[in-house]
Amino acid sequence: MKYTSTIGIECHVQLATKTKLFSEVDNDARDKEPNSCVSPVDYALPGMLPRLNGEAVKLAVRAGFAMNCEINQKSRFDRKHYFYPDSPKGYQITQFFSPIIGAGFVELPDGEKIRIEHAHLEGDAGKLSHFDDYSLVDLNRVDTPLIEIVSMPDIHSATHARDYCKELWRLMTFSGVSYGDLYNGNMRFDVNISLAPEDAKELGTRAEIKNLNSFRSVERAVEYEIKRQSKILDKGEKVKQETRGWSDATGETIAQRSKEVAADYRYMPEPDLPPLSLSDEFIEEERKKLPLLPKDYREKFKAKIPVDILEILLDYKELIKKLAEIDEKALKRTANLFASVLLAEEKSAEMLEHLPSASQLSELSEMADKKELSSTATKEVFLRFFDPDMKQKSAREIAKELNLLQENDLGALEKIVDEVLAMPETKKAQEEFKAGSEKVLGFLVGQVMKASKGKANPSSAQEILRKKLS
């Protein structure tokens, strides 16, 4: 039987605030000792009351605008009760009934729109590290500020699930809402998948895959889960509603627990935080802070940069912002250098922290256009831009120091060509060219390049050779 897969995704986004959602504790726990970024408020000790982080509210509003969402002027916090060893309060402060972000949509690169149901503010739980016969609890992440973005079930393939997660990541990083460090859990994806016969009017029973932290994992987990559920349905059996984990090593999902429903959490209004009320002025101020987003850059560079190159560069906010500073004539060449040369370097992540100036890149492109540099020399000068010792030097200065400037003096080139044509080892190639063999011209040009120590302009050398051998 053929089935239709229906996918909805919940994404937890860690907000780029200095402190936690309800206390003045450092929000960056990377490389910190376990349980060192925690306060009595995070422990929920008696008499300790939460204080809402205003910066988190601002970033949540900005995230809503990035996703074309409505911003709710009135929202409130609720308690979601559950017990985990890494949650000392015994409940999570979240927004269940009245979230800060309302309906909206995320537009994918192919133009398809994935609707957003809502997004809400909440504090994170801690972290458990499991070993053979014991587990360790680290509470550094407790009440890290999050927004949880809930999509509508508009996704129907593993590819679109991956594309949606990547575009959401781009929106959150471009807008400055999150650092987007997937390795350190700045964004985590919970994927809900259900299958139903193609002609069915109702959705099938869903399984939720928790805590995926890469786009590739999202795609692979969805592909596996579709196959797993298809086999169950083909046998005439029912899919269990449950929470499952994903193993990158085995490429399989693993059952973890039966899926809870809202009633299991005993939601109730949070008594220690008043309702949140946002003025029109506050909301408008955050809207104005929204920088250029991926869709803006797609429109800006449309027909100027190939789509495949542009989509690669949209994964690197710094590169796209640098392209926006560059002269239009240099755009395409610079985009290609970024995508094919810089990102291919082993240390490209470090190099991204020290990008060349717009004037350096524009001058380099102009020199390449004028055939003052070969393609190989252009790449060499480009990479030297990232050398601290050459950071302040122009493209021309670097090319001169490296002796990479091409010989464009036609008189000087003609003398070199004459020397090559006088060489005994080129006589056979000359005869074959005159007899109609075009392929030997490459050999002759190569000899000119060798004689000029790589400084001859190949196209000029070829033109002179053709004239002399005609």
Asked which of 233, 255, 284 is the last residue of a domain, the reply is 284
Residue range 96-106, pLDDT digits in tens:
999 999 999 99
* Same domain, residue pair 61 and 207: yes
* Same domain, residue pair 159 and 222: yes
* Same domain, residue pair 273 and 388: no
Q: Residue with structure tokens 């593993």? A: 158
Is the Cβ–Cβ distance between 188 and 214 less than 8 Å?
no
- State the pTM of this model: 0.87
> Of 323, 383, 394, whose CA–CA distance to 354 is shortest?
383
441: domain CATH number is: 1.10.10.410
247, pLDDT greater than 70: yes
Domain extent for 452: 410-469
* Same domain, residue pair 329 and 461: no
* Same domain, residue pair 362 and 424: no
* Same domain, residue pair 277 and 304: no
* Same domain, residue pair 265 and 296: no
H/E element holding 285?
helix 280-288
Asked which of 401, 419, 446 is the last residue of a domain, the reply is 401
Residue range 281-339, pLDDT digits in tens:
999 999 999 999 999 999 999 999 999 999 999 999 999 999 999 999 999 999 999 99
461, pLDDT greater than 90: no
* Same domain, residue pair 428 and 395: no
* Same domain, residue pair 423 and 376: no
CA-angle at 367, arms to 466 and 461, nearest 5°: 15
The model's confidence at residue 433, banded by pLDDT at 50, 70 and 90, is confident
Give me the DSSP letters along 286-318: HHHT----HHHHHHHTTTTS-HHHHHHHTT-HH
The mean pLDDT of the chain is 92
Give me the mean pLDDT over the 21-45 stretch: 92
* Same domain, residue pair 296 and 280: no
* Same domain, residue pair 278 and 417: no
Total domains present in the chain:
3
Asked which of 284, 307, 336 is the last residue of a domain, the reply is 284
> Of 292, 288, 29, whose CA–CA distance to 170 is shortest?
292
* Same domain, residue pair 425 and 323: no
